[in-house]
Amino acid sequence: MKILIIEDDDRTAAQVARALTEAGHVVDRAGDGRDGLFLATGGGHDVIVLDRMLPGLDGLAVLGALRGAGQSVPVLILSALAHVDERVRGLKAGGDDYLSKPFAAVELVARVEALGRRPAQAQARDRLVIADLDIDLRTRRVTRAGRAIDLRPQEYRLLEFLMRHDGQVVTRAMLYEGVWDFHFEPQTNVVEVHVSRLRQKIDRGFGRPLIRTHRGGGYSIGLTDDGPDDGVSDDGNPDGGDAAAGGDRD
Amino acid sequence: MTVTDAAQGGGLFRRLRRTSAARIVALYLAVFVASTAIVLGSVTWAALALIDRQIDQTLDAEVRGLAEQYRLEGLGRLIEVVRARSGIRSSGIRSPAGPGDRGGGPGPGDSGIGLGGIYLLAAPDGVPIEGTLSGWPRAAERAADGTLDAELADGRRARIRVYRLAGGFRLLVGRDLAERARFRDLVVEASFWSLGLVLVLGLYGGWILARRSLARVDAMALAARRIVGGDLDERLPRAGSGDEYDRLAQAVNAMLDEIGRLMTASRVASDAMAHDLRGPLARARVTVEAVALRQPDPSEARAGLDEALAEIDRVIATFEALTAIGRAESGAGRTAWSDVDLSALVTELGEIYDLLFEDAGRVLAVHIAPGIARPGDRALMQRAVANLLENTLKHGAGPVVLSLARDAHDDAIVIRVADRGPGVPAAERARVVERFARLDPARSLPGSGLGLALVDAVTRLHGGRLVLMDADAGTAGTAGGAGPGLAVELRLPADGGAPRPAESELTAAGGQADEGLAPAEGVAPSGGVAPSGGVGAGSGVRPGPSA
């Protein structure tokens, strides 16, 4: 994908650019709001990573101008302002996602890729299917290889979120926000325990595992051989019996 | 000290001039002086006017009397009368004229002030015939008839009445004004003395007043300077009279006490923070350094970096928690408040954490009264309750009960998490909600020590209070427990500014009676599903309109 980074801090910009380049994307950079707006309105970018506090033109002003010009390119806002109020402001101003500093590079890449794929997910579906795993969104019925799987509500929501991001890495922070609406990182391993439980139910006894753990605290769902190869490796723990002990960050 | 005193003494007047007491005194003094001057002035003016009027009336009466004598008895009689009256010198002796004599009768003008009668009868050509004057005063030479002030030939000032008699004779009757002038001088002098006295007394009183208040303020300022200088135990002096200065000092002292308490707390917290952050940062540094310098094999390097990453994440989490506490304590972001469905929120947290307790081999029982909502910051409330659950997950033991109910006594909303673990000694309960406070002095257990501090800050932001107690207090048995257990109650005022629902009593009763309520599966209690237990009446009813 072609990604525009609007960020005044050179080191942050370099880090972001490097992470995205390593993930196989093409990166442009603007050092302030005016250049950023100029490059952004030129179009041709799949995703824009926008810093909020910029010299020249504030990030939200850039966003407003961009949306005013009818550009619907997905924008990920990057900011040191982390509180829910600030996120809400950013999203209301037309942002599509909000990532607060400090952030993990893997998280940034995962979110940018999720934004880049958004048009594909926009279509309303009432079934999600990956290999032989099948969920009916209306009845909330989950089957694998034709066998019904009984999930708790929290497990169902987790599975649905993973399947909606089919083939992408989703980070723990994305799961906290998307599945549980947590805007904080709990001290305990909520994600690991739930993923591990989900794994037991949908992967155990079904041959090839579908849920993969990625280094740095991300997960993806999909068959191993047609899943994305974005440089992160499988943790070699397909059973996932105890994700907390699987070397993940705690 | 003496230098300071001297400087203060020398500058006292200058400093007094700048005090508000001095300004008030000056203002009052000006008002007093002005009003006294107005009163005295108007009295003087009225008295002098009265005297003038009396003189005029006397002169008028006398002239008419003399004119009558002339008309009735001729010039000879007039000359006689004028001669007789001219004989009276300022002696206070009344005119020898009889009582029937209107002109010379005892008029008001004769009562001591209008003495010194002046008379002159002149021929039509102006030649004096009889009287006390040797010639016409210059001012009256041309006047045919009328009253005027004139200066006499001998320098006296007089009020005179000129009258032209039939046949061209001219008559002049006058009164010496020296007495009037003396009276006026007397009154004016008295007025000045009174004004001076008012001024002196006012200034003196003001000086005393201003100096007294200045002394109190100086003492306070001195104490304040000592406090600024580092003597934090110093307090503003109080006279003990309970006056406004005492009350001010009391309020400021209370403020200083609170500031002192906060400063101590923040010093302790920053010490603890330095300790808690230095630990993981040092470990991360050592690990990264080892990887960088020793260049171990890839899997070892990888493990080291993961470890360092985990340490850095701990540091970030600690900072993040501190920021959240700071925000909650400052009350910032109240604009983000909305009507929070606490029943749904706590139920969901119960569902999320149920699995974790199960994983840890423990049981989480959830009792939620339905339909409880109040305004608040949803994200912070969620985080606070999650912190309580994580706290018992980390430090508690045995079965855990998470409940949400209304207290029947004070109608407070109570979120309670109780376990059967070692509990917290009563003496430590106030301390554990402080930042970085931990029961474990070696800080060997995981956790930042910020969990309860955040819960406390969030609770207070919502106008509530956090209560810690033994879990077995008031309940029978300690089944499955290793200690007294800990119950943490987050008590929130029910209204929080929102309209009080009419069925709150019902809901409260239901909330108290819902023993045995299982955590609802995926359905918020407010969704209309009646949980098991005796809550049928109150369930499914939302408390008023949600904002």
Q: Tell which residue, A30, A32, A58, has the closest CA to residue A42.
A: A30
Report the range of poorest mean pLDDT among A157-171, B14-28, B204-218, B230-244.
B14-28
Contact A184 B323 (CB under 8 A): no
Closest listed residue to residue B241, CA positions, set B216, B211, B222: B216
Q: Of the ranges A62-71, B302-311, B476-485, B509-518, which one carries the lowest mean pLDDT score? A: B509-518
Per-residue pLDDT at B537 exceeds 80: no
Interatomic CA distance for residues A164 and A192, integer angstroms:
19
Interface test mutation site (partner A, options B335, B353, B356, B366, max chain A beta carbons within 10 A): B356
The pLDDT tens digits of the residues spanning A164-204 come to 888 788 888 889 988 988 888 888 889 999 999 999 998 88
Chains A–B, number of C-beta pairs less than 8 Å apart:
74
Predicted complex ipTM exceeds 0.90: no
Q: Which of B352, B354, B388 to mutate to test the interface with A (most CBs of A within 10 A)?
A: B352
Q: What is the pLDDT of residues B302-341, one digit of tens each?
A: 888 888 888 888 888 888 888 888 878 777 666 668 889 9
Q: Minimal Cα distance from B310: which residue of A?
A: A249
Question: Looking at per-residue confidence, does A228 or B454 come out higher?
Answer: B454
Q: What predicted TM-score, i.e. pTM, was given to this entire model?
A: 0.57
Q: In the CATH hierarchy, which fold is given to the domain comprising A2-124?
A: Rossmann fold (3.40.50)
What gap in Å lies between CA A162 and CA A211, rounded to an integer?
9
Residues on chain B touching A216 (C-beta within 8 angstroms):
309
Higher pLDDT, B278 or B459: B459
Contact of A105 with A15, CB cutoff 8 Å: yes
Question: Pick from A246, A140, A189, A195: which is nearest to B353 by CA?
Answer: A189
* A182, two tokens: 């947590």
Distance CA A35, CA B280 (A): 40
Q: How far is B524 from chain A (nearest CA, A)?
A: 12
Least trusted range by pLDDT, from B78-82, B162-166, B506-510: B506-510
B258/A contact by beta carbon, under 8 A: no
CB–CB of B300/B338 below 8 Å? no
Say whether A187 and B317 touch across the interface (CB within 8 A).
yes
C-alpha distance from B293 to closest chain A C-alpha (Å): 23
Q: How confident is the model at residue B503 (pLDDT cuts 50, 70, 90)?
A: very low
Residue with tokens 């900011």: A79
Is the peptide bond preceding residue A102 cis, with omega within 30 degrees of 0?
yes
Is A127-221 in the same CATH topology as A2-124?
A: no
Exposure on the CB side of residue A241, measured as CA atoms within 13 A: 1
The chain-wide mean pLDDT, for chain B, equals: 76
CB atoms within 10 A of CB A246: 15
Shortest distance between the Cα of B280 and any Cα of chain A, in A, equals: 13
Residue spans per domain, chain A: 2-124, 127-221
Q: What angle do CA B308, A49, B332 make, to 5 degrees?
A: 75
- Summarised one tens digit per residue, pLDDT across range B253-309 is 999 998 888 888 788 777 777 777 888 888 888 888 888 888 778 888 888 888 888
Task: Convert the pLDDT of each residue in B345-362 to its tens digit.
Answer: 999 999 999 989 998 999
A22: Cβ contacts below 8 Å, ≥ 6 apart: A231
Give the tokens for residue B504: 């709150």
| Inter-chain CB proximity B351 and A152 less than 8 Å | yes
* Distance, CA of A111 to CA of A168 (rounded, Å): 9
pLDDT given at position A123? 56
- Residue A99 β-bridge partners: A78
Please tell me the predicted confidence (pLDDT) of residue B541: 35
- B150 vs B139, B175, B356, B421, CA distance in Å? 6, 10, 119, 117
Nearest CA in chain A to B382: A182
Q: What is the mean pLDDT of residues B105-133?
A: 67
Provide the H-helix boundaries in B87-124.
none
User: Residue A193: closest CA among chain B residues belongs to which residue?
Assistant: B356
Residue B107, CA distances (Å) to B64, B102, B110, B198 in order:
13, 9, 6, 39
DSSP state of A234: B
Distance from CA of B351 to the nearest CA of A (A): 7
- For residue B202, the Cα-to-chain-centroid distance in whole angstroms is 28
Quickly state the pLDDT bin for A224 (edges 50, 70, 90).
low
pLDDT score of B512 more than 70: no
Question: Does the CB of B448 have a partner CB in chain A at under 8 Å?
Answer: yes
| Closest residue by Cα to residue A4 from A116, A129, A132 | A116
The partner residues of A185 in beta bridges, in order of sequence, read none
Residue from the list A85, A153, A250 with its beta carbon closest to the beta carbon of B310: A250
Question: Is residue B398 predicted with pLDDT exceeding 70?
Answer: yes
> Is the confidence at residue A63, as pLDDT, over 60?
yes
Residue B313 contacts A where some CB pair is shorter than 8 Å? yes
**Mutation choice for A interface testing from B359, B383, B445 by most A CBs within 10 A:** B359
The band of A124, judged by pLDDT with boundaries at 50, 70 and 90, is low
Rounded Cα distance between A53 and A61, Å, is 10
Q: Higher pLDDT residue, B402 or B521?
A: B402
Cβ partners under 8 Å of residue A172, min gap 6: A185, A191, A217, A218, A219
Closest partner residue to A194 (CB to CB) among B316, B327, B355 is B355
Lowest mean pLDDT, pick from A222-231, B402-411, B431-440, B481-490: A222-231
Give the nearest partner residue to A153 out of B323, B387, B521, using CB atoms: B521
Kindly tell me if the per-residue pLDDT of B449 is higher than 60: yes
3-state secondary structure of B448: coil
A153 interaction partners in chain B (CB closer than 8 Å): 351, 521-522
B327 Ramachandran zone, left/alpha/beta (phi>0; psi -120 to 50): alpha
- Interaxial angle between packed helices B451-461 and B298-330, expressed in degrees from 0 to 180 and rounded to the nearest 10: 30
**What CATH code would you report for A127-221?**
1.10.10.10
Hey, what are B491's tokens?
């008590």
Q: For A83, which of B303, B333, B387 is closest by C-beta distance?
A: B333
The Cα B202–Cα B36 span in angstroms is: 13
CA–CA distance, B456 with B462 (Å, rounded to integer) = 10
